[in-house]
Amino acid sequence: MNFDIAMPLTLFFVTLAAIFFDKKVERKMKGVFEEKEFRVRDAILLVAAMAVTVSLIVFIPQMAIMTIFLFSYSMLLFTFTYIFSDFKKAQARLFNIVFLVVSFTAATISLYNLDANSLMGYGALAFFCLFAFTFIALLYDELRTSLRERWYLAILPPALFIFLYSFFSGTPIWFPYLLDIYGIVFAVLIILYLGSFFTWRTTLIFVTLLTAMDVILVLVTGAMVSAASHVSVLQLPMLIAIRTIPAVVRDGYVIWMSLGLGDFFFAGLIALQTVRKYGREYAILSAIAMSASFFIFEAFLLTYELRAFPGTVMIICGWIPLILWKKLGHEEKDSFSSRFKKE
């Protein structure tokens, strides 16, 4: 029997990261968005919009898809960095130093690869410009007395992302390393960003409809598989691709497993709502259960050489038994308490 531990562990650690960052992020996000929450109608419309997007994405030119996603990811990075850029001077200094090191390293690598790719010259220029901007931001921040949000720090993450994608997306540096790093970062950010808008009720409705939609688009129409094939050549961080551990070999090649950011968001949203409903410990237990369920389904796919299966089903099958057990446990406890009071 074939099995893999790499992707289930990745799913678990991404979900765990969202659980632990949630407390630090939730209050700030709700303050920025004035305690706004999704209603039932909003959850239904979000699922409908996702279904339409997946169904039509194969008809959209790849250049348009790339532009839309690069803009969306850049805005997500800018928004998060700006909201949380009111940190102390020492933290801001460390933040700038990290970008100085990364931009200078990327510029140096670009210079050494000029013979292999003529575009690397432009890449080196772009990274050196980013290095200069970061250095100026570092000097300016040392003189700045206010600790409010810093727009010039918020520019750095999206600029670095666009430059790395533009000049390294066709190199081994991007796939699988930078692709997976950015995939994990975006997965956590999307969970924390959208998770702040959901309630327990809207989450239950959303996950039910999304699971039904996923089953239809993967197993019935095949639109999800076609969409993934259409955009995978762009090497955008829309998924996380990891080599199987232990290695599963088929036709002389090691199998790589991939999971879309939507599935990571699905698991993370469930975990965050479980935190708010039943506490952190039970949420961690639910993350373990979801990862274990994913492991079992994935082993089945690898053993019987199935091409695709709805990731939402693989995840939710680990969560539902725990929630039912918890709910039944609460009902029995409440029933016992009421009988005890009567006696």
CA distances from 265 to 18, 21, 220, 268 (A): 10, 14, 23, 5
pLDDT of residue 330: 61
User: One-letter amino acid identity for 118?
Assistant: S
Residues 19-42 as b/e (b if ≥16 CB within 10 A, e otherwise) read beebeebbeebeeeeeeeebeeeb
Range in 29-33, 161-165, 168-172 with the lowest mean pLDDT? 29-33
- Give the whole-number percent of the chain exceeding pLDDT 70: 94
Taking only the tens place, the pLDDT of each residue in 221-243 is 988 988 888 888 899 999 999 99
From CA 330, how far away is CA 337, in angstroms rounded?
10
Q: Count CB-CB contacts under 10 A for residue 48.
A: 12
184/308: higher pLDDT: 184
Tell how strand 239-243 and strand 249-250 pair up: unpaired
Does 164 score more than 70 pLDDT? yes
CA distances from 161 to 234, 241, 243 (A): 15, 18, 23
Length of the chain: 343
Structure tokens at 32: 């920025």
Q: What's the mean pLDDT in 17-36?
A: 79
pLDDT of residue 22: 87
Say how many Å lie between the first and final Cα of the chain, rounded: 56
Give the HSE-up count for residue 154: Cα atoms under 13 Å, Cβ half-sphere.
Answer: 18
pLDDT of residue 332: 54
pLDDT of residue 336: 44
